[in-house]
Amino acid sequence: MGTEAPEGLTPRNTSRGRPRTTGSATCVRCGRTAGRTRATWPEGKICGPCFTTATRTHGTCPDCGQHRLLPGPPETIGGPRCAPCAGIPHDFHCGRCGVEGEFYRLGICARCALRDDLNDLLLTDPADSGMAGRIVEVLCKADRPESIITWKRSPKVQALLSSLSNGTTPLTHEGLNAQAKSAERETNHLRALFVHHGLLPYKDPHLARFESWIEDKLRPLPEQVARPVEHFATWHHLRRIRSTTTPETSARGPVHSAKQEITETVKFLDWLWQTHQRTAATCTQQDIETWLATGPTTRKAIRTFIVFINNTGTNTRVEMGHYTAKNRPAITQDQRLAWLRELLTGTSESLPYRVAGILLLLYAQPLVRVAKLRVEAVEANEGSANMKIAFGTHPVPVPQPFAELLQEHLRNRPNLRTGSDTRSPWLFPGTRAGQPLHPDTIMDRLRGLGIDLRGARNTALDEHLTLSPPPLVRGRTRLLPPGCVPPRRQCRGRLVTLR
C-alpha cells in the first residue's frame, strides 16, 4: 500500500472458504497436496480447484485460433491452450447442448442438469404449461447455474415453485405476497428474478414491504389510535410515495422516513389515549409540548402528523414548529484526503466499495444516490483519459487516478453471475436480480473502515463551496436560511485536487 491507512481504519478478514484437505497427492499446477486429484493430464495430476478453474476458462486458443474452452497449462507461452492443442485426451463437450465446460452430472453441464431438475419440478403436471415453461427459462438463464441448483434444494424454494406450477400461487405480486409470510427471503429473490426478466411488472420492493408493514403496525392498536394512524399512513404517506416511485427513483428513503413518522405518531397517540383519554381530534397544545419535553428528540417526527391533522381539519387548535439540529458533523480536510488516498491505493476494501466511497468523498454524493447510479451515467468513449460521470443533467470530469479505478470497476462489476446478467443497468449490481446494491450495505462497509459518512459528505460540500466562484455562491445561497448548507446540485461542477 502506497500510503498509511487513515487513523481508525479497521482491516477486514480476507480469509474465505473451507480449508483445503491435505494428503499425499501433489497438484502439478498449484503445488499443494490433496487427499485425491480430479484428473491426470499430460503435465501431471490436477487437484479439484485447479480442475474447476481450467474447465471454466474460455478464450481464443493461441495455437488453433478457435474460441473455446482452454484447460491447458496457464504458464505456457501465449497462455492456456484448448484440450486438443494441449494434448489433453478428454472431450469436455456437454452430451446434450454441446457447450464445453465441466461436467456436472452424467456427461452433461450444470445448465442442462438444472433444466432437467426444473422440468421434473415444474412441468410434470402444471396448471399452465406456458407459464411454467417461462419460469424454467428464466431460472436457466443464470450465468452460473450451479448457484440456482444449490438455491432450489431448499424445501421452501421447492414448495414455492411447486405452488406456482400447480396454480395454488398465482404469478402476481399479490400471490407472492401471500407466500412471503412463510418464505420471505426465497419469495423476494424469486420476485426479483421475475421482474428482471419481465414475467412480472416492476414494483418497488420497499413500497411492497411498506404496505404490509402498515397492516402489521395497525393490527394490535385500539380503534381510537389505529383510525387516525391509518388515515395518516394511507392518505399522506402511501399516496405520496406511490406517485413519486419509479424504477429510477427508489422508495427506500421516503419509506424509511415514513416508518419513523408513523412509529412516533403511534407512540404519541397511544400515550395520549392511555394517559389522558384523548384522541388526535381532542388533543391540546399542552399535550404536544409535554410529549416533546419528556422524551428523546426522535419525538419531533410527529410534526408531519400535526400538520396533517391541521390541513384535514381534524384538529386546527394545535401546531408544532420545525426542529433545528444543534450541530453539524464534519471531518478535517486532511482526514478527507487521507481517506481518498486509502480508497484509491489501499486494499482495505474490495473494489466496488472503494469506488462508492470515493464518489462520496470526492463529489459529496449521498450513498443512497450512489447505489442507484446506472452504467450509462459514466461516459468513457475514449477510455479513462476523458471520462465523465453524470449525477444530474450535466456530466462532470472524473480525475485521474480515480478514472482508472472506475474503469476497472466497470470491467469487473460484481453479482452478475447468479440472478442478473451482464446487461444489468446498475453501476453497483446487487445480489438480487435487476436491483442495485443496497445503500445500507455500502454504508455498513464504509462505516466498518471508520469513515464518518455524514462528516465526510459535509466536508466535501464545504470544499466544493469554497472552490465555487463568489457570484455563483451568492446567487445560489441568498434564499437559504442562515447556517444552511447549499444543496448538492450547486457544487457538481467542481472537483477537489488530489495532491
Residue 479 has pLDDT above 60, yes or no: no
Strand positions, DSSP E, 123-232: none
**For position 420, what pLDDT does the model report?**
58
Residue 414 has pLDDT above 70, yes or no: yes
**For position 246, what pLDDT does the model report?**
79
Where does the pLDDT of residue 415 fall: very low under 50, low under 70, confident under 90, or very high at 90 and above? confident
162-167 contacts, C-beta under 8 A, 24 or more apart? 162/121, 162/122, 164/122, 164/131, 164/132, 164/135, 165/121, 165/122, 165/123, 165/124, 165/125, 165/126, 165/127, 165/132, 165/135, 166/125, 166/126, 166/127, 167/127, 167/128
Return the axis-axis angle of helices 184-196 and 205-218, rounded to nearest 10°.
150
Whole-structure pTM value: 0.65
Contact between residue 340 and residue 361 where contact means Cβ atoms under 8 Å apart:
yes
Q: Which of 456, 429, 268, 263 is nearest to 361 (CA)?
A: 456
pLDDT per residue as tens digits for the range 201-243: 888 888 888 988 999 999 999 999 999 999 999 999 999 999 8
Q: What are residue 34's phi and psi, to 5 degrees?
A: -145, 160
**For position 44, what pLDDT does the model report?**
92
Position with higher pLDDT, 268 vs 415: 268
The conformation of residue 101, written as its DSSP 8-state character, comes to: S
Facing residues of 69 across strands? 58
**For position 258, what pLDDT does the model report?**
95
Rounding to the nearest 10 degrees, give the CA dihedral for residues 61, 64, 68, 70: -40
Position with higher pLDDT, 282 vs 323: 282
Contact between residue 224 and residue 279 where contact means Cβ atoms under 8 Å apart:
yes
Neighbours of 82 (CB within 10 A): 24
Alpha-carbon distance of 161 to 177, in angstroms, equals 14
Least-confidence region, from 58-62, 287-291, 390-394: 390-394
Exposure class string for 302-322: b at 16+ Cβ within 10 A, else e: bbbbbebbeeeebbeebebee
**For position 25, what pLDDT does the model report?**
83
Exposure class string for 18-28: b at 16+ Cβ within 10 A, else e: eeeeeeeeebb
Three cell numbers, residue 318:
394545535
pLDDT per residue as tens digits for the range 420-434: 566 788 899 888 877
Type of residue found at 370 = V
* Greatest alpha-carbon span in the chain: 90
Where does the pLDDT of residue 9 fall: very low under 50, low under 70, confident under 90, or very high at 90 and above? low
Residue 493 has pLDDT above 70, yes or no: no
Alpha-carbon distance of 284 to 44, in angstroms, equals 86
Q: Which residues contact 196 (CB under 8 A, 6 or more apart)?
A: 419, 420, 433, 434, 435
Neighbours of 377 (CB within 10 A): 15
Contact between residue 476 and residue 465 where contact means Cβ atoms under 8 Å apart:
no
**For position 495, what pLDDT does the model report?**
42
**For position 71, what pLDDT does the model report?**
94
Residue 78 has pLDDT above 80, yes or no: yes
Alpha-carbon distance of 10 to 336, in angstroms, equals 16
Alpha-carbon distance of 395 to 377, in angstroms, equals 8
Q: Which of 33, 29, 22 is nearest to 52 (CA)?
A: 29
Exposure class string for 62-72: b at 16+ Cβ within 10 A, else e: beeeeebbbbb
As a whole number of Å, the CA-based R_g of the chain is 28
199-204 contacts, C-beta under 8 A, 24 or more apart? 199/134, 199/135, 199/138, 199/171, 200/171, 200/172, 200/173, 201/173, 202/247, 203/173, 204/245, 204/250, 204/251
